[in-house]
Structure formats: C-alpha cells, structure tokens
Amino acid sequence: MGDPLISRDDAAEALGMVARAAGPYLDALPHLPVRDLTHAHLVKELDGPLPEDGDGTIAAVADLLRIGTRAATHSSGPRFFHFVVGGSTPAAQAGDWITSLLDQASGLWLTSPFATQAETVVLRWLKEMFGLPPSYGGVLTPSATFANLTGLACARHWWAARHGVDVTAEGLVGLPRMPVFSSGYVHASSRKALQLLGLGRDSVRTLTRDDAGRLDLAALDRELAAAGPAVLIANAGEVNGGDFDPVDAMADLAERHGAWLHVDGAFGLFAALSPRTAHLVRGIERADSLAADGHKWLNVPYESGFAFVRDASVLGRAFGSWNAAYLPAPDDEFVNYNNLGPESSRRARALPIWATLRAYGRAGHQAMVERHRDLAHYLGGIVDRSPELELLAPVNLFIVCFRFRPPGVPEEELDDLNRRLGEELIEDGRVYAGTTVYRGVVALRPAIVNWRTTTEDIDLLAAVVKEIGARLVGR
Ligand SMILES: Cc1ncc(COP(=O)(O)O)c(C=O)c1O
C-alpha cells in the first residue's frame, strides 16, 4: 500500500468509520464491564513486525477499531471508580475529534490564531469558574503533573530571583536548597515536578499533626519564620480520604512570611463551582500559582490540564526560551503559548474545554459536581448501614474511603482481606475500584467523577464489593 498520498481519498472514509463505530460503542458503554476479560487476548494482535508496505488506511483503521472497542478499558463509562479518572462529556469528546481533524500547531499565534484565541478564552472562562482574578496568567498543559511543574517552575523562578539569580538563564548552581513545605497530603506529582526542576523529590518537608497527614499549621508558621523565601504546596484535595488542606490559613501564613503559595487542585479546584463545596477551596484566589486537570472533573478527554499564576509575567520569564519575547501582556492577542509553559509544539487542547463549557455552561458543570457529591454521600450511607463495611473518612466531595470489615474477622487479617478484595474487584471487571493505604490500613477509595454515573452504578459497586467480600470469607 505504501505512501499515504496514494490513499488520500480514504481520509474522510477513515473518520467515517470511527464515527459509525462511535454510535454502537457509546450506546453499549453504560452496560459494558469496565474491562472485558473475554477480549483481553486481542491486545496481542497489536503486535507484529514493523509493516513494510502497510495494510492501507481502511484496513489499519478497521483493525484498530475492532481491537480497541473490545479490548480497551471502558474507563470513560460510568463504573470506573479507581484513582480519579473522569469521563468525556459528549461535547468535549466531539471537541477532541475536532482537535484531531484540524490538527493545529497551537504553540504559536502565527501557526494558529484560532487555537490561540480558543486557549485565551477557555483560560478566562476557567478563571471565572474558579473565582480567580482575571489578571492571573495561565496556560493549558497536558496534565496536572505538568501544571504542577508549571506552577512550581514559576515558584522556583521567584525564589531564585529573591537570591539575585535569574534561574532561567543561569540555572541553580550556587543557590542553596529551595525550602518547600506541605502537609502529608502532597501528591506524588508535585514531588515529580520538584524532581524535574532539579530541586529534588525529597526537598519537600511535610509538617503533619496526625497519621492522616493533616497539616500542622503552628509548625508551618515556625518553619516559615526561620526559612527565608520559601514555597508552600497546598493540596486541594487528597486522593485517599478526600480531605483538603486549609488553603486560606496557608495563604495567611504565606502572606505573613512572604512565601510563595502553590495550590495543587488537580480535581479539588472544581469544588469552587458549588456553594455546597466552595468552603473546601476558600483562599485559592490568594495563591501565587495553581494547578488543575481537565481530564478529571471537567470530564474532557485525556490529556488536559491547566496552570494559573498570579503574576502573569513570571510564566514568560520561567518558560520563555532564548531569543524569545519574555513578557507578553496578559491580554496579548498575539500570545505564543509555547513561551508560557513547558511544551513547545502542542495540540489545540483548548477545543474540548471550549466545547464542554459552551455546551453545558458553568451551571451544567456545577450540576455534575453536586451530583457526584450526592452520589458519594449515597454510597457513604450504604456503607454506614452495612454491618460488613466500615467508613474510614468523612465524605466531603466525591471520594468514599471504606473497607470490608465483616464481623468476626480479626483486625490483623483485614488488610490482607481488603487487598485481595481490591484485586478480585479488578479481575471481576463489572466495576473498578482499587485499594490504597489510609491511616495505616488497606482501604477502598472509589472516586465518583464521571458524568454518566447514576445511583444504579453505585448500587452495583456496593453489591459487587459485598458479593466478592462474602465469597472471600466463605459466607
Ligand atoms: C491531587 C493530585 N495532583 C496531581 C495529580 C496528577 O494528575 P495527572 O495524572 O493528570 O498528571 C493527581 C492525579 O491523581 C492528583 O490527584
């Protein structure tokens, strides 16, 4: 088959094949097991020698659709509760297809004024949704990890400048270690960002007052008084128990001691959308930098994240490359987003965000946030009423942290029992929920963040947990 130029007329048909497969796939999605083991063997068909001439457009796309629609993890369906994995709203998913159709190089205004404008608009909309001042700078990133990297790179730039060094030009040589403080809730991705920035994964000091990892504010106050310019990471929220750091109180301390406050709000920033949950993120509008994900609670397809920075000019200083204009004005229509974040060439990842916000508005996304919170409380209620289940943390957003604890099973056997339960849940595939270690015990911590999820899905989750648990203890 060879050269794609020969089959250029197949381009629309190839997309048509995807579109025609979409209907049956999406209709089936609410009823599919999260992972269908009967099709697991199909992934082997991806393998083979590098094709010499290739099978041609139609055959290759047909194969990928056949294997993918059967063997993929159906995690965009309503019953994937492991980690924090969002779904894709219909508009966001279509926006993502449009991104591929148009294939914009969105790093430079020159290569796509359309994608640049879309990015500027969605960043403004997102700031408004979260209650952040419009003057904040921002950039879209592939993920919250990259958004944390972006915010913490700005923090590093600010901190080095306090020591008289332009870290963008000169690097870290000769500087002391940057003091970084957080609670025990700090996520691995913030550590990864510190690691990539040459600051060291272990440079963050966690100041905790209990085994859950809650912040010791008094200790933070003391440490900051002694540390000189320092960086605080507030976690809004935490993936195991669903708790939040006290962002407002941390902003007070940052102000008092002249520290930089970075908020990792990968999923929790969306609590700002509802008056029922906004108290959890009070103070985010005082942060120096913030990171969040689109592919979690905004329910846009992977890869989607965003970072905001109070002093918009720091983004350009931290990421502007050699010979590039450093300081675009925040309202600069001709902005080159590749100078404001860690990427250079990048896709137009604003489009799915634009589509979902245009389609459902702030109110639609607020409704989703509130429904997920209600569903989490619904599951919390089931756990409370079930003698064989034990709630381990209060439900405050969408995470329900609990374990299987049937009467008569000794405490020392519970970790192993729950670990096996987590493994069997995944093997079973009807629902997906995995285990973590919370306050020293093995626990399940399903997260409800998919727009498709309803009470029936939650009922099934509870029923499957009880069924497998009963089987494991022979009852
Ligand atoms: C609090 C928090 N921060 C950061 C991340 C990293 O997000 P991503 O995997 O999108 O990079 C996660 C992911 O679960 C998270 O829960």
On the CB side of 411, CA atoms within 13 Å amount to 2
CA-CA distance, 467 to 464, in Å (whole number)?
Answer: 5
Whose alpha carbon is nearest atom 15 of ligand 1?
Answer: 266
pLDDT, position 217? 98
Give the distance (Å) from ligand 1 centre to CA of residue 175: 29
Mutational pocket test of ligand 1: of 148, 187, 245, 445, the residue with most ligand atoms within 8 Å of the beta carbon: 187
> Would you tell me which CATH number, out of the four given (3.40.50.1100, 3.90.1150.170, 3.40.50.300, 3.40.30.10), belongs to the domain 361-472?
3.90.1150.170
Ligand 1 atom showing the smallest separation from residue 238 Cα:
1
Q: Most distant CA pair in the chain: distance in Å?
A: 70
Helices (H) and strands (E) in the chain, counts: 13, 11
Q: What predicted TM-score, i.e. pTM, was given to this entire model?
A: 0.97
Strand order in the sheet with 402-404: 389-391, 402-404, 441-444, 435-438
Low-confidence ranges of the chain (pLDDT < 50): none
Cis peptide before 303 (omega within 30 of 0): yes
Within its chain, how far is the Cα of 51 from the centroid? 36
Question: pLDDT averaged over the chain?
Answer: 96
Give the distance (Å) from ligand 1 centre to CA of residue 420: 25
Ligand 1 atom showing the smallest separation from residue 148 Cα:
4
Neighbours of 49 (CB within 10 A): 5
pLDDT, position 329? 60
3-state helix, strand, coil in the chain (%, to 5): 50, 10, 40
pLDDT, position 475? 78
Give the distance (Å) from ligand 1 centre to CA of residue 161: 28
CATH class of 96-357: alpha beta
Ligand 1 atom showing the smallest separation from residue 84 Cα:
14
Whose alpha carbon is nearest atom 14 of ligand 1?
Answer: 84
Give the distance (Å) from ligand 1 centre to CA of residue 87: 15
Ligand 1 contacts CB of residue 293 (under 6 A): yes
Give the distance (Å) from ligand 1 centre to CA of residue 385: 32
> Do residues 238 and 281 touch, judged by C-beta distance below 8 A?
no
For every residue of 401-414, DSSP letters joined together read -EEE--TT--HHHH
Of the candidates 268, 308, 230, the residue with the CA atom closest to the CA atom of residue 399: 268
Neighbours of 69 (CB within 10 A): 18
Ligand 1 contacts CB of residue 397 (under 6 A): no
Ligand 1 atom showing the smallest separation from residue 146 Cα:
11
Give the distance (Å) from ligand 1 centre to CA of residue 471: 34
Q: Give the helix/strand (H/E) hosting 231.
A: strand 231-235
Ligand 1 atom showing the smallest separation from residue 236 Cα:
1
Tell me the two tokens of residue 332: 């600069």
Query: What is the residue extent of each domain of the chain?
Result: 8-73, 96-357, 361-472
User: What count of residues does the chain have?
Assistant: 475
pLDDT, position 323? 61
**Cα pseudo-dihedral 395, 297, 309, 125, rounded to 10:** -120
Q: Beta-strand (E) ranges in 76-197?
A: 137-141, 180-182
Neighbours of 82 (CB within 10 A): 21
User: What are 301-357's pLDDT values in tens digits?
Assistant: 999 999 999 999 999 999 987 666 655 565 677 899 999 999 999 999 999 999 999
Give the distance (Å) from ligand 1 centre to CA of residue 234: 13
Question: Which residue matches tokens 């459902």?
Answer: 360
Q: Beta-strand (E) ranges in 274-387?
A: 289-293, 305-309
CA-CA distance, 139 to 148, in Å (whole number)?
Answer: 12
